[in-house]
């Protein structure tokens, strides 16, 4: 309650009353965000963007909007822009606030104020309250609505409008319409704050595939990445995209689009020579990883139609078993999309379509269309059935092989691989297995481990790539056989039993080089393709051996990553030295903290350099004359820009930089902005400086960070230590650079690659000891995405792999320097 009155008091008087009700609703969202967006971590954070985009997609589906743009800003705020009609701005007769404000504050505003009762259609999961939920969970939200020749603006802070909707300016083109929403997720609510470009890109690509003709552009101002998703081919292009790294066995994807009453069924399918099945369902463009009635309807129809076709055309001669649905779906990539009036979700995670009427509708519509398709395309039908017959034969062979191994393992009494060192504990919940690359690291791990709880399985060289091998061949491979035996679960449909798993932590431990990363990917491919439940249950981990080794005299340290190395070097230099700042002798901790702040400040400024200019930013932080107030006054602004130009002429930078500033009107916001061109010998950068940036909390944060070190920027620092002697510095930057360098003096820092370079004790201390180690848990958020990663990385096609590696160059670089 205290919070409420506090935020209300910020708001104007008459306005207050109508806000109280709103607050109660929004407060409920802030108290239990999980109820509305699932969680407050990665998924929930990204969900917020989808909710806003969904409103724009609805506008597109209604036929009023052709393009949606999404921009991720440097401060991790996001803007979504559409060119639709613009959210209505008229004042609601009863609530006395604008429709736009209602949409963003009322939890049940789904078009209620539309007299004809034509509630706006909902493509997302929150039935029209998405915008209000996002608003409640945002530090601030800014709306700009172009409508009736004017730009209307509205701002919210933590869900509460700071003043009523206002006209910001006139439009040059009176006919222009659209909605722009910018929001910054509230750091007090979310544990994760950074948007992931690829996650958003994958979702928008998927939406563009599912809504043919829809154009979505995504731009990331943090990295200058940009992509446009626009597919006239819809689902057919979706399947072609998913199969781009695979070898297809018939040319064009099969496409079916049928409707009955209010139900629209759209599917596209194509078989490849791979052994996995990719089947994705959507209901009203919402992904249904849990499957449901649309999926079962499709499967039943496919099995029935293909079996009937095979029998009628005598294609099953000489086969001992029947073709099962699994045989027929080997190598299949299929998208099943259904649009229906009333969604019902089931299952623990509400990701399974429950509408019972859907099963029959899909079954009959798809059945008829497929039957017709196979009759008209007998060659495709025969190719598919031949592949299914092969799959059935392999299934038979694998069954026989499995029976053989089962008998053999019984004879071998429990049959653990000979090279493996098991642990003493028998309770799987307490047991760990380290799967280790190479015999030598395996040897160290065996000696260094805690024998009671930790088992070690060393692998020799690379394991078989299961992406390119069918089940029977896979089971014949020695390294894979060892892994299967060690895990104890068995493998394959009808045979895998997770309750027999012998270790609840399966830790992959490979070297931090190219080979190590390849072996890790091979192991993950095996686990994902053959034991996906192990990942789903959270049993699979990746060991994190240290990246650096620091050696000075007899002192040896292993250091996790670059940040830890920097901290280590600073502490190392400060420790045992006498330091004076402006004649005073501060505590070591204070000196370390000051240098760390300086490093963080410098890093943030450098990061901004990608899209902004670090020198200009530094100046704007250190001298805050240029404000959004000043921006409005052209004369004063010009004066300030002149003095900035003078300043840049007077300072020395590492390369010659030439700055030009041009004022431009920003009529939509009744203010000005500054166009900036920075020329260096290497490149020319153009960008804008506007009030949005000067008013942003992130700019304020940078100013604060600078406040913390400002006092010391030009302090006198004296550093004294035996052997080094006494040194003086007149600036924090010189002092900090010296300390970092001094921390390295006489030491040997090695970018550390092989596990084998550590002796058993070191391996235990750094990587295996549960008290010290860090383990990365392997998670799969999105099965289509995972299928793509493995089929692209491990498949036959070279071009998609090259593209993938290029696009992921940063990640790859981290793995191996
Ligand atoms: C970037 C997000 O929200 N666009 C958007 C939303 C609406 C409309 C147009 C709209 C809908 C209708 C009439 C209608 C919304 N309007 C409402 C409500 N983009 C974004 N574009 N006129 C405009 O459905 O009748 C809710 S969303 F309820 F006010 F009509």
Which residues touch 323 (CB under 8 Å, ≥6 apart)? Answer: 303, 306, 307, 310, 316, 385, 388, 389, 392
- Under DSSP, the state recorded for 682 is S
What is the SS3 assignment for 446-473?
HHHCCCCCEEEEEECCCCCCHHHCCHHH
Which residue minimizes the CA distance to atom 10 of ligand 1? 87
Q: What is the largest CA-CA distance in the chain?
A: 97
Query: What's the sign of the alpha-carbon dihedral 363, 364, 370, 371?
Result: positive
Query: In b/e form, how buried is each residue of 483-493, taking b as 16+ CB within 10 angstroms?
Result: bbbbbbbbbbe
Q: Which of 99, 109, 120 to mutate to test the pocket of ligand 1 (most atoms within 8 A of CB)?
A: 120
Q: How far is the CA of 85 from the centre of ligand 1 (A)?
A: 7
Query: Alpha-carbon distance 581 to 392, whole Å?
Result: 78
- For residue 79, the cross-strand partners are 71, 182
Which residue minimizes the CA distance to atom 25 of ligand 1? 120
Which residues touch 514 (CB under 8 Å, ≥6 apart)? Answer: 815, 816
Residue of 374, 369, 250 whose CA lies nearest to 312? 374
Q: Is 515 a catalytic residue?
A: yes
Query: Alpha-carbon distance 410 to 219, whole Å?
Result: 59
Q: Is 511 a catalytic residue?
A: yes
- Atom index in ligand 1 nearest the CA of residue 181 equals 1
Q: Decide if 432 contacts 507 (C-beta within 8 A).
A: yes
Burial class (CB in 10 A: 0-12, 13-18, 19+), 245: buried
pLDDT for 128-141, tens place per residue? 678 999 999 999 99
- Under DSSP, the state recorded for 273 is S
- Phi, psi of 119, rounded to the nearest 5 degrees: -55, 145
Which residue minimizes the CA distance to atom 8 of ligand 1? 87
Q: How far is the CA of 113 from the centre of ligand 1 (A)?
A: 12
Q: Which of 79, 82, 84 to mutate to test the pocket of ligand 1 (most atoms within 8 A of CB)?
A: 84
The number of beta carbons lying within 10 Å of the beta carbon of residue 578 is: 12
Element counts in the chain: helices (H) and strands (E): 29, 30
Q: How far is the CA of 343 from the centre of ligand 1 (A)?
A: 21
- Atom index in ligand 1 nearest the CA of residue 118 equals 25
Q: Which of 87, 123, 141 to mutate to test the pocket of ligand 1 (most atoms within 8 A of CB)?
A: 87
Q: Decide if 51 contacts 131 (C-beta within 8 A).
A: yes
DSSP string, 217-269: EEEETTTTEEEEEE-TTTHHHHHHHHTTTS-BSSSSPEEEEEEETTEEEEEEE
Q: Which of 75, 432, 437, 479 is catalytic?
A: 437
CATH architecture of 415-545+762-780: 3-Layer(aba) Sandwich (3.40)
- For the chain, give every residue range classified as CATH 3.30.565.10: 27-230
The number of CA neighbours under 13 Å toward the Cβ of 344 is 8
Q: What mean pLDDT is predicted for residues 786-790?
A: 81
Query: Alpha-carbon distance 449 to 500, whole Å?
Result: 24
CATH code of domain 235-365: 3.30.230.10
Q: Decide if 419 contacts 438 (C-beta within 8 A).
A: no
Q: How far is the CA of 193 from the centre of ligand 1 (A)?
A: 28
Which residues touch 789 (CB under 8 Å, ≥6 apart)? Answer: 804
Residue of 272, 146, 124, 262 whose CA lies nearest to 668? 146
Q: What mean pLDDT is predicted for residues 81-85?
A: 97
Confidence of residue 406 (pLDDT cuts 50, 70, 90): low
Domain 27-230 CATH (choose: 3.30.300.30, 3.30.565.10, 3.30.70.2740, 2.40.50.140): 3.30.565.10
**Which tops the pLDDT comparison, 805 or 118?**
805
Residue 556: predicted pLDDT:
82
Q: How far is the CA of 782 from the centre of ligand 1 (A)?
A: 30
Q: What mean pLDDT is predicted for residues 71-86?
A: 94
Q: Which of 511, 566, 666, 787 is catalytic?
A: 511
Q: Which of 515, 557, 698, 785 is catalytic?
A: 515
Which residue minimizes the CA distance to atom 20 of ligand 1? 56
pLDDT for 418-444, tens place per residue? 889 999 999 999 999 999 998 889 999
Residue 18: predicted pLDDT:
54
Q: Residue length, the chain?
A: 817
Ligand 1: residues with CB < 6 A are: 52, 55-56, 59, 80, 82, 84-85, 87-88, 99, 103, 111, 114, 120, 179, 181
Q: Which of 51, 54, 88 to mutate to test the pocket of ligand 1 (most atoms within 8 A of CB)?
A: 88
- For the chain, give every residue range classified as CATH 3.40.50.670: 415-545+762-780
- Atom index in ligand 1 nearest the CA of residue 99 equals 29
CATH architecture of 556-756: Roll (3.10)
**Which tops the pLDDT comparison, 16 or 503?**
503
pLDDT for 286-314, tens place per residue? 899 999 999 999 999 999 999 999 999 99
The number of beta carbons lying within 10 Å of the beta carbon of residue 164 is: 16
Residue 394 confidence (pLDDT) above 90: no
- pTM of the predicted structure, to 2 decimals: 0.70
Q: Which of 264, 513, 557, 757 is catalytic?
A: 513
Residue 2 confidence (pLDDT) above 50: no
Residue 49: predicted pLDDT:
97
- For the chain, give every residue range classified as CATH 3.30.230.10: 235-365
Q: What mean pLDDT is predicted for residues 73-88?
A: 94
Of 529-538, 651-660, 795-804, which range is least confident?
795-804
Q: Is 666 a catalytic residue?
A: no
- Under DSSP, the state recorded for 94 is T
- For residue 286, the cross-strand partners are 283
Q: How far is the CA of 89 from the centre of ligand 1 (A)?
A: 10
Q: How far is the CA of 36 from the centre of ligand 1 (A)?
A: 21
pLDDT over 70 for what percent of the chain? 90
Q: Decide if 673 contacts 661 (C-beta within 8 A).
A: no
Q: How far is the CA of 58 from the centre of ligand 1 (A)?
A: 8
What is the SS3 assignment for 18-57?
HHHHHHHHHHHHHHCHHHHHCCCCHHHHHHHHHHHHHHHH
- Phi, psi of 429, rounded to the nearest 5 degrees: -65, -25
Torsion of CA 598, 600, 602, 608, to 10 degrees: -160
Query: In b/e form, how buried is each residue of 524-561, taking b as 16+ CB within 10 angstroms?
Result: bbbbbbbbeebbeeebbbbbbbbbbbbeeeeeebbbbe
């Amino acid at each position: 309650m205290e919070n409420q009155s506090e935020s209300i008091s910020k708001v104007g008087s008459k306005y207050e009353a109508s806000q109280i009700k709103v607050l109660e609703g929004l407060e409920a969202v802030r108290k239990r965000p999980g109820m509305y967006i699932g969680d407050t971590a990665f998924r929930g954070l990204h969900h917020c963007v989808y909710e806003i985009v969904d409103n724009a997609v609805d506008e597109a589906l209604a036929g009023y909007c052709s393009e949606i743009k999404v921009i991720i800003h440097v401060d991790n705020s996001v803007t979504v822009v559409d060119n639709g009609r613009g959210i209505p701005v008229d004042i609601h007769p009863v609530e006395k606030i604008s429709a736009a404000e209602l949409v963003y504050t009322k939890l049940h505003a789904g078009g209620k104020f539309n007299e004809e009762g034509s509630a706006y259609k909902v493509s997302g999961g929150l039935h029209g309250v998405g915008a209000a939920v996002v608003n409640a969970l945002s530090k601030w939200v800014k709306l700009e609505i172009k409508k009736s020749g004017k730009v209307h603006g509205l701002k919210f802070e933590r869900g509460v409008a700071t003043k009523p909707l206002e006209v910001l300016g006139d439009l040059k083109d009176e006919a222009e319409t659209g909605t722009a929403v910018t929001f910054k997720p509230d750091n007090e609510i979310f544990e994760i704050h950074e948007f992931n470009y690829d996650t958003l890109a994958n979702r928008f690509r998927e939406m563009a595939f599912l809504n043919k003709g829809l154009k979505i552009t995504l731009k990331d101002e943090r990295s200058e990445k940009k992509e446009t998703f626009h597919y006239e081919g819809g689902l057919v292009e979706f399947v072609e995209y998913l199969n781009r790294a695979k070898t297809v066995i018939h040319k064009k994807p099969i496409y079916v689009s049928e409707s009955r009453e209010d139900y629209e069924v759209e599917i596209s399918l194509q078989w490849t020579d791979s052994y996995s099945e990719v089947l994705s369902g959507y209901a009203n463009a919402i992904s249904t990883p849990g499957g449901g009635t649309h999926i079962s309807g499709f499967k039943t129809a496919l099995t029935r139609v293909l079996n009937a076709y095979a029998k009628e055309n005598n294609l099953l001669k000489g086969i001992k078993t029947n073709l099962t649905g699994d045989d027929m779906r080997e190598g299949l990539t299929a998208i099943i999309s259904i649009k229906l009036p009333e969604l019902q979700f089931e299952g623990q995670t509400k990701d399974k379509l429950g509408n019972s009427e859907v099963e029959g509708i899909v079954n009959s519509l798809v059945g008829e269309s497929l039957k017709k398709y196979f009759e008209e395309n007998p060659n495709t039908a025969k190719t598919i059935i031949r592949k299914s017959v092969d799959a059935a034969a392999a299934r038979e062979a694998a069954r026989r092989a499995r029976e053989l191994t089962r008998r053999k393992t019984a004879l071998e009494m429990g049959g653990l691989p000979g090279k493996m060192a098991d642990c003493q504990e028998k309770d799987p919940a307490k047991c760990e297995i380290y799967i280790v690359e190479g015999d030598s690291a395996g040897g160290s791990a065996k000696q260094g481990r805690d024998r009671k709880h930790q088992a070690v399985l060393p692998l020799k060289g690379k394991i078989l790539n299961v992406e390119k091998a069918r089940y029977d061949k896979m089971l014949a491979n020695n390294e894979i056989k060892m892994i299967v035996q060690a895990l104890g679960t068995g493998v394959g449909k009808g045979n895998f039993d997770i309750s027999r798993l012998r270790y609840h932590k399966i830790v992959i431990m490979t070297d931090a080089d190219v080979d190590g990363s390849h072996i890790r990917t091979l192991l993950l491919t095996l686990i994902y393709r053959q034991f996906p439940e192990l990942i789903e249950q959270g049993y699979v981990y990746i060991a994190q051996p240290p990246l650096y080794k620091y050696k000075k005299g007899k002192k040896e340290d292993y250091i996790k990553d670059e940040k830890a190395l920097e901290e280590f070097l600073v502490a190392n230099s400060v420790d045992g030295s006498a330091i004076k700042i402006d004649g005073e002798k501060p505590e070591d901790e204070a000196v370390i903290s000051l240098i760390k702040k300086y490093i963080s400040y410098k890093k943030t400024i450098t990061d901004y350099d990608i899209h902004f200019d670090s020198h200009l930013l530094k100046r704007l932080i250190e001298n805050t004359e240029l404000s959004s107030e000043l921006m409005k006054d052209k004369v004063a602004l010009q004066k300030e820009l002149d003095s900035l130009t003078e300043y840049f002429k007077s300072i020395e930078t590492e390369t010659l930089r030439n700055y030009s500033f041009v004022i431009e009107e920003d009529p939509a916001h009744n203010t000005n902005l500054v166009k900036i061109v920075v020329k260096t010998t290497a490149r020319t950068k153009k960008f804008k400086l506007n009030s949005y940036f000067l008013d942003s909390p992130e700019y304020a944060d940078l100013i604060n960070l600078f406040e913390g070190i400002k006092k010391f920027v030009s302090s006198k620092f004296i550093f004294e230590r035996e052997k080094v002697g006494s040194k003086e510095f007149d600036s924090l930057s010189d002092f900090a650079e010296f300390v970092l360098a001094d921390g390295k003096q006489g030491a040997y820092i090695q970018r550390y690659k092989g596990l084998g370079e550590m002796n058993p004790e070191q391996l235990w201390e750094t990587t295996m000891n549960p008290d010290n180690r860090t383990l990365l848990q392997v998670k799969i958020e999105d099965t289509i995405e995972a299928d793509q990663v493995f089929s692209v990385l491990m498949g036959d096609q070279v071009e998609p792999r090259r593209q993938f590696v290029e696009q992921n160059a940063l990640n790859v670089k981290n793995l191996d320097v």
